[in-house]
Amino acid sequence: MYGNQGQFHGGQQPPHGYAPGPYQQPPYGAPYGPPPSGYPPPHGPQPNKYRALVIAAIVLVVVLGAVAVRAVATSNSDSPDRSNRPIATAPPPFSTVSPVTTIPKPWQGAYSVALVTDPCALLDPSVMARWSRTPKQAPQGEKEDALPSLGGGELQCNMSFEAEHTPGAVIVPPSLRITVNFAESCCDSAFYFTNRSESSVRVYGLDGGSHGPVEGLGEQAYFVTSKDLPGAPHYVTHELFVRDSNVFVKISAVVSSDTPFTNADLESAFHRQVRQILDQLRT
């Protein structure tokens, strides 16, 4: 209809009131400039308005922060002075240490292995005087102490003597052996008494020997004597078992003589030996 410079084609005249404006179409690819005067501004908020809102928000935050700081300062100034008050300390932690308790030790009793240093101090050679007055060698002993948490303990002593008999006779030299056991966590004195005495009966008491309970020695006592060999010399093995409280005592003696001897001779000698042992071990 019309071309450049506001000229109309075909010799047409511009409409009434038309005045050519200064606007010229920019070359191809050139950026557009500001819109010509007379056109309305583009729609939507402008960048200046966004900047104003951000600045207003920042100012508001600063003002509110200042108000809060002043309020806290005022509150602290109105609070009472606690600088002189003692600082509260946390209570001590709950103690996990258990109260000291005494662990029961059922193996303890009226006797103690700790009272004896030399086991052979318990052995009295004079009890063998009926069969021999001459020790053949020094006694040999062993001691086993008790364990604090288990109890127990053991004493042993063995002594040999010269044989006193008619020259030319074949005879077994006399000997005396004592064994003392103390009760422990697994075994009381009754355990030792029963096992040792029953074993002795099976060895010496069933083949013509004699055995039975004994009165007046500890809580329980038993003897076993082997069969006397016929003829001379006379020879027997005599064993005595005694238990009392937490202790067990065994005496084993081999005795021989050209002349006969009786059970009363054995009882007189070895009952005395047991009483001496118990007296030395009693607490």
Q: What is the pLDDT of residues 153-189, one digit of tens each?
A: 999 999 999 988 767 666 788 999 999 999 999 999 9
Residue 173: helix, strand or coil by DSSP?
coil
pLDDT tens-digit series, residues 105-140: 888 999 999 999 999 999 999 999 999 999 998 999
Give the residue among 231, 265, 229 at the shortest CA–CA distance from 131: 265
Residue 81 lies in a domain: no
Residue 63 lies in a domain: no
Residue 251 lies in a domain: yes
Residue 265 lies in a domain: yes
Residue 258 lies in a domain: yes
CATH of the domain at 205: 3.40.1000
Peptide bond preceding 233: is omega within 30 degrees of 0, i.e. cis?
A: yes
Residue 24: helix, strand or coil by DSSP?
coil
Q: How far apart are CA 107 and CA 111, in angstroms?
A: 10
Higher pLDDT, 248 or 137: 248
For 148, the domain range is 113-281
pLDDT tens-digit series, residues 190-214: 999 999 999 999 998 887 889 999 9
- Decide if pLDDT at 263 tops 60: yes
What pLDDT does 135 receive? 93
Task: Please answer whether residues 123 and 176 qualify as being in contact, where contact means their C-beta atoms are separated by less than 8 angstroms.
Answer: yes
Residue 3 lies in a domain: no
Residue 4 lies in a domain: no
CB-based burial of residue 282 (10 Å sphere; 0-12 exposed, 13-18 middle, 19+ buried)?
middle
Name the domain count of the chain: 1
Residue 195 lies in a domain: yes
pTM recorded for the entire structure = 0.64
